[in-house]
Amino acid sequence: VRIVLDRYLRLPTNLNIFDKSQPTICYNLTKDAVQDNLTFVKLTEKKDFLAEIMNDLYKRKIQSLLIEGGTQLLSGFFKENLWDELYIFKSPKTFSSGVPAPVFQAELQEMLSLQDDQLFIYKPIKNA
């Protein structure tokens, strides 16, 4: 199942994520609807929407979630302690610009080398 967070439904509908080829849930603040494999779920909470999403996913028996997000979304999951594992890939390649990574507190569990890249695996600090 693919999960999309698009609060105001501003993402272009021609994106592959909306192609209906896979079951997809789009959480938003605008509408509830089902269109084939695409389900729109209207959230009631503007501030506590992550907890609302997690509760809905639990009711749908979705117990594992891979999050690919920006600083704001990832920071929300860290702040609400809604994560249990973090994978960071580090590459020697550099970009001229980008978005700063979110700040998090975690314990490094493992570091792996993957050709020129490194993979860092973190877990939350207990009692943090």
Q: In the chain, where are the structural domains located?
A: 2-59, 71-124
- The Cα–Cα gap between 99 and 97 comes to 7
43 CB-near residues (< 8 Å, 6+ apart) = 7, 27, 28, 29, 49, 52, 53
- Per-residue pLDDT band for 103 (boundaries 50, 70, 90) equals confident
Rounded to whole angstroms, how far apart are CA atoms 31 and 53?
Answer: 15
pLDDT higher than 90, residue 70: no
d(CA 89, CA 69): 14
Q: Which two tokens stand for residue 6?
A: 């698009």
Q: Pick the residue with more confidence: 47 or 19?
A: 19
> In the 8-state DSSP scheme, what is residue 73?
H
In this predicted structure, what is the pLDDT of residue 75? 92
Confidence band (pLDDT; 50, 70, 90) for 128?
low
Q: Are 43 and 70 in contact (CB under 8 A)?
A: no
What pLDDT sits at residue 10?
Answer: 96
Range among 46-50, 62-66, 107-111 rated most confident: 107-111
Average pLDDT rounded to a whole number, residues 110-125? 95
Contact 53, 27 (CB under 8 A): yes
At residue 5, the 3 state secondary structure works out as strand
Mean pLDDT of the chain: 92
Q: How far apart are CA 121 and CA 8, in angstroms?
A: 33
Q: Which of 5-9, 11-15, 57-61, 93-97 shows the lowest mean pLDDT across its residues? A: 93-97
Residue type for position 79: K
